[in-house]
Amino acid sequence: MSDQDARKRILDMLAAGRISVDAATDLLRAVGAPGPTPAEAAPAAKARGAARVLRIAVDAPPNGEGSGAKVRVNIPLALAKYAGRFLPADASAELSLQGIDLEQLLKDLGDDVPDGRLLDIEADDESNGGKTTVVVEVV
């Protein structure tokens, strides 16, 4: 109901004798008073409806010691600080080889983690001629 509709309703109740002049005055003041600002009213909800997820993808070519690494990990953003615990050992090793400290990256970002790609690396592996790809993103 708009302020104008509320005022009209109050005046109609006064005209019908259902409320006193003093009560109408108090109600009209309350309608005219500014309400709480949005920041005071309630904490802001996330703009997106779906839960945010940290997605980590590592593709590494086979090396001389075994098969290559192909890893896909999706972690709820609330658990992202524990991401290193969810990664397989070969994916963690590949991140380390590329000089990526995932825990430090997330710590540096704090609570204001933006949507989209945080890290996108393609590197040629000279030992076997393959290409290593590492992608860390928030979706």
Beta strands in 1-139 (DSSP E): 53-60, 69-76, 116-125, 130-138
Q: Is the dihedral of CA 20, 21, 24, 26 positive or negative?
A: negative
Q: Rounded to an integer, what distance in angstroms lies between the CA atom of residue 54 and that of residue 105?
A: 12
Which pLDDT does position 1 carry in this prediction?
65
Which pLDDT does position 6 carry in this prediction?
84
Residue 23 tokens read as 């009560």
Dihedrals phi, psi of 19, to nearest 5 degrees: -135, 160
**What one-letter code names the amino acid at 75?**
I
CA 81-102-83 angle, to 5 degrees, is 40
Model pTM greater than 0.75? no
Q: To which H or E segment does residue 21 belong?
A: helix 21-32
Please, which residues bridge with residue 9 across strands? Answer: none
Q: Rounded to an integer, what distance in angstroms lies between the CA atom of residue 81 and that of residue 103?
A: 6
The pairing of strands 116-125 and 69-76 is: unpaired
Q: Rounded to an integer, what distance in angstroms lies between the CA atom of residue 122 and that of residue 43?
A: 40
**What one-letter code names the amino acid at 74?**
N
Per-residue pLDDT tens listing for the chain (139 residues): 677 888 888 888 888 888 888 888 888 888 776 555 555 545 554 555 556 888 888 888 877 666 777 888 888 877 777 777 777 787 778 778 878 887 787 777 666 777 888 888 888 877 777 888 888 888 8
